Amino acid sequence: MTTHYLSIVLLLFALAGFGCSSKVADDRQEKEDQLAAYRSEMDGLKKKISILESELSATAEKGLVNVSLTAVKEERFEHFIEVLGTVQSDQNLMVSPETSGNIIEILVKEGDRVNKGSVLARLNTDALDRSIQEMEVNLDLAQTMFERQELLWNQSIGSEVQYLQAKSNKETLERRLEGLKAQGAMSVITSPVSGVVDNLLQRKGEMASPVVPFARIVNLDKIYITGDVAEVYLNKIKEGDSVLVEFPVLNLSVPEVITRTSSVLDADSRTFRIRVDMMNRNQKILPNLMAVFKLQTYQRPNAIVVPSILIKRDFDGQFLFVAETNDENREVARKRYIKSTINDNNQTVIDSGLEPGDRIITEGYAQVTDGALLNISEVK
């Protein structure tokens, strides 16, 4: 029995050893395959490196610098600045009554369109109406007394003093009645402009007063936009200049002209104000909406423009490199000094130093020096 068990144990150990040997063999084969793949890739890279080294060596032996050129040509150049603006309306008014009183009737609601002079509300005038009625009665009596005194005076009956007193009394009462009626008219709240009732600030039954706004009336048919421009552009922007007004929220752009420029600089911000009047036909443009002025400050129809990154500076001034043909009919780099006018959006306008047809070095410019031989790969 013991011999039988021993045989089984030995068989199990043998099987385990065989399994481990098989796994080790599989791992080794996988690593050998991966190593072969890496060696194949390395051989390919060595060939590519060898080719590049040969090309660079050939170029270095010739003393050439690889560059690309761009032929200079004239083009239209415009420079713009952007200035933030705010929409406003001359007819954005708070309406208040001219006298105090209880509001007994409101004849409009928010959103209603009203004309200039339209009645918006009425105030309680009971006490004033009674005073007017009493004054009218007194005036009727004074008118009768005056007519009788006038009749007697024309017949040379009675004294002149009686006639003048009757006349003065009548005229005094007439003026008082006019004053009371004027007060009555002040109890009617009317619109000072044509527009839309944007907001009613009081309700029926509340006490109105000249110091308490009753409603806001807005006329959006005509609006204006103002913006502050840096003083450096004072001589470049003037009344009548064209301007593009953009409203980012509305995705809207409108060409207009500058209506007015301020005559005084702001001492703190060193800016001057411009104003643009415009029609608001669809009334989408609302007061206090943000606008952007796009203002042209410079233009040249035939300008030479180069990328600003190409321009360098030394003790003698600004320069860039151009390609020229030397006496040996070989292309060389030459330092060309220039004068520039304006830099905008990484582009520089050249005043002098370049002519149409000149070939400027646009790639490889950082590696060239004055007189360096060139290997031109592209001409644009």
pTM of the model: 0.56
What does the alpha-carbon distance between residue 56 and residue 212 come to, in Å, rounded to a whole number? 87
Tokens 């600045």, residue located: 81
- pLDDT, mean of residues 228-253: 92
Domain boundary among 251, 267, 299: 299
Q: Which one has a higher pLDDT value, 259 or 48?
A: 259
Residue 108 and residue 214 in one domain: yes
Domain that holds residue 133: 125-186
Half-sphere exposure of 164 (CA within 13 A, CB side): 3
Count of domains in the chain? 4
Q: 311 and 284, same structural domain?
A: no
The answer to whether residues 234 and 163 belong to one domain is no
For position 204, which CATH number holds? 2.40.50.100
**Looking at the domain assignment, is residue 17 inside a domain?**
no
Verify that 244 and 314 share a domain, yes or no.
Answer: no
- Out of 51-65, 177-191, 305-319, which region has the weakest mean confidence (pLDDT)? 51-65
294 and 266 fall within a common domain = yes
- At 184 the pLDDT is 60
The answer to whether residue 50 sits within a structural domain is: no
pLDDT in tens, 110-162: 888 888 888 888 887 666 667 667 777 777 777 877 777 777 667 776 677 77
Contact 291, 85 (CB under 8 A): yes
Q: Are residues 227 and 199 located together in one domain of the fold?
A: no
Q: Which one-letter amino acid corresponds to residue 380?
A: K
What CATH number is attached to the domain comprising 274? Answer: 2.40.30.170
Residue 360 falls inside a structural domain: yes
pLDDT at residue 2, as a whole number = 47
Asked if residue 264 and residue 238 are part of one domain, the reply reads yes
Are 293 and 228 contained in the same domain?
yes
pLDDT for the residue numbered 1: 46
Same-domain check for residues 267 and 313? no
Q: What's the pLDDT tens digit per position in 244-289? A: 999 999 999 999 999 999 989 999 999 999 999 999 888 889 889 9
333 and 266 share a domain?
A: no
What span, in angstroms and rounded, lies between the C-alpha atoms of 156 and 152?
A: 6
Altogether, the residues listed in the chain come to a count of 380
**5 occurs within a structural domain:** no
Question: Does residue 6 fall inside a structural domain?
Answer: no
Do 168 and 193 fall into the same domain?
no
- Name the more confident of 163 and 279: 279
Does residue 55 fall inside a structural domain?
Answer: no
Q: What is the mean pLDDT of residues 350-365?
A: 91
Q: Which residues contact 61 (CB under 8 A, 6 or more apart)?
A: none
Whether 43 maps to a domain, the answer reads no
Q: What DSSP designation does 212 have? A: B
CATH number at residue 129: 1.10.287
Contact 243, 294 (CB under 8 A): yes
Taking only the tens place, the pLDDT of each residue in 115-128 is 888 888 888 766 66
Same domain, 267 and 249: yes
Structural domain ending residue among the three candidates 218, 235, 263:
218
Among 299, 316, 343, the domain-final residue is 299
- pLDDT over 80 (residue 314): yes
The DSSP symbol for 105 reads E
Is 114 domain-assigned?
yes
